[in-house]
Chain A
């Protein structure tokens, strides 16, 4: 008896529920050779007949096995909105309540990015050790984290916001609101 083991390194971009099917075929060879064994009959009682008694009686057997990817189905979304035009210069961008009608991203204005990371309902597994890294671009300056829903930690250093969570189950969403002022 021999075991046949197939070892694969699954591509990192393999999608959830993607499959790869292997057909594995075994064929009898003559002992000590690479010559396919053929059925031999009619050798009488003195000679040696060779008879296939495998299920198909054809000297070959096949089995099918499949890899099925089980992965999270993550999606990320980010929107930007003006929270305050801050024309008077006294708005607290880090924590001030959004002002209705604010729309102009003028220098000094307060903008808010809403970042959401979701694992689809139909995903096969949790997303583990999810990390988002948002390096704020030139033209704005970090002002504060206005809200955090679902991330275990949210930190900012040097204009880069990092948010982490240990596990995001299928159907779950985590979001964070980042405030920044327009330079």
Chain B
């Protein structure tokens, strides 16, 4: 009968297979699948039966297949200027039928953030480093993607997480983008070089074939950092509210006089300070604050209007305002009255 399955594997490989018994990716390379059959016919009133005749065998070959997938939605991680330890994560899964080490290469393309690789994982502003993790909650192990560096064998059906960790430059503008092209290439079992395809071995020995998406032994994934920042503008102007020639104008509450224009001593003037977040900004400005010191020659009188500031403080000639959140397209302004000395 045909239940005859033998192994050409080395003892070490058998032990490895025992350690990972459930291979949804398929039978391991080297396993021999042998198939015979039973033949019977009648003659002379008897049935003649011949068992285990016409055996045909083949050896299971190695399928090199693997996939990359970004663990970040849309393949993009949104970051803020100056943010540290910002991670992009990808998962490399070995969908072949044997353990394979891989080489991971990471290249920054469309690099508007000007990030540079720091293999020493110092975490300085404007740098990025690469780590490998066995599982999402695993311990990150620094990985230098320069040249050919083995990840160590990734078992069949196993996976490895690649994390790119960057500290975003403080000067990064809203919408700035850096994309990383991450590629994986299978290595020979000892990790010393690229594992090429091996063909022409017939049914009795092990072929090695690429079965990744491009069937070329390379998979790539592109993933990005994109800066989301407010686009703030500040403006200040000053107008004369009243020339107050008669000396009886109430600067703190008086209605602006249409013809007033002369900055003469005693005149009432009004500063308007406006903070705006542009409609096209990617994110609100938070914990927004301004400090304005009135120049010599004028004396603070009052706050005429507060439109949007959560806090306003006056200490002598120093005026401070704060806003918790200023959404894109929104503005806040304050009108401050003062008298000309």
Residues of chain A touching chain B, judged by Cβ–Cβ distance below 8 Å, are 10, 12-13, 71-72, 74, 76-82, 85, 87, 103-109, 111, 113, 115, 117, 125, 127-140, 168, 182-183
Contact = CB atoms under 8 A, between A and B. Distances in A.
A79 to B, nearest CB: 6
Given A76-B37, A137-B3, A137-B35, 20 more contacts: A12-B48, A72-B43, A78-B54, A103-B199, A104-B61, A105-B58, A105-B59, A106-B26, A106-B211, A108-B63, A115-B54, A117-B39, A132-B40, A134-B2, A135-B2, A139-B31, A140-B35, A168-B41, A182-B26, A182-B33
Interface of B: 1-5, 25-27, 31, 33-44, 46-48, 50, 53-63, 65, 97, 199-203, 207-211, 215
Given A129-B42, A133-B37, A107 B26 contact: yes
Contacts of A80: 35, 56-58, 203
Q: Please provide the 8 A-B residue pairs with the shortest distance between their CB atoms, ordered closest to farther.
A: A107-B26, A106-B63, A78-B54, A139-B33, A134-B37, A104-B207, A80-B56, A104-B61
Contact of A76 (B39, B43, B199): B39
Nearest to A69: B44
A131 B36 CA distance: 14
12 contacts: A76-B37, A76-B39, A76-B50, A87-B65, A105-B60, A106-B97, A108-B211, A131-B39, A132-B39, A134-B38, A135-B3, A182-B27
A78 B2 CA distance: 12
A139 B60 contact: yes
A104 B4 contact: no
A101 to B, nearest CB: 9
A104 B3 CA distance: 22
B37 A78 contact: yes
A183 B40 CA distance: 29
Contacts of B62: 106
Contacts of B215: 87
B58 A77 contact: no
Contacts of A78: 35-37, 54-56
Contact of B35 (A72, A125, A136): A136
A115 to B, nearest CB: 7
Among B46, B58, B59, B97, find the residue whose CB has the most chain A CB atoms closer than 10 A: B58
Given A76-B37, A139-B33, A87 B209 contact: yes
B38 A133 contact: yes
Contacts of A82: 58, 203
B40 A130 contact: yes
Given A80-B203, A113-B56, A135-B2, A74 B209 contact: no
B39 A138 contact: no
Contact of B5 (A12, A134, A137): A137
A120 to B, nearest CB: 13
A147 to B, nearest CB: 16
A42 B263 CA distance: 187
Contact of A134 (B35, B46, B57, B63): B35
B95 to A, nearest CB: 10
Contacts of A108: 26, 63, 211
A127 to B, nearest CB: 4
Contact of A103 (B1, B207, B210, B211): B207
A87 B211 contact: yes
A131 B40 contact: yes
Contacts of B53: 76
A115 B37 CA distance: 9
Contacts of A106: 26, 60-63, 97, 207, 209, 211
B199 A104 contact: yes
Contact of B39 (A74, A125, A139): A74
Nearest to A80: B56
Contact of A137 (B2, B50, B97): B2
Given A139-B33, A182-B60, A129 B47 contact: yes
Given A78-B54, A132-B38, A138 B5 contact: yes
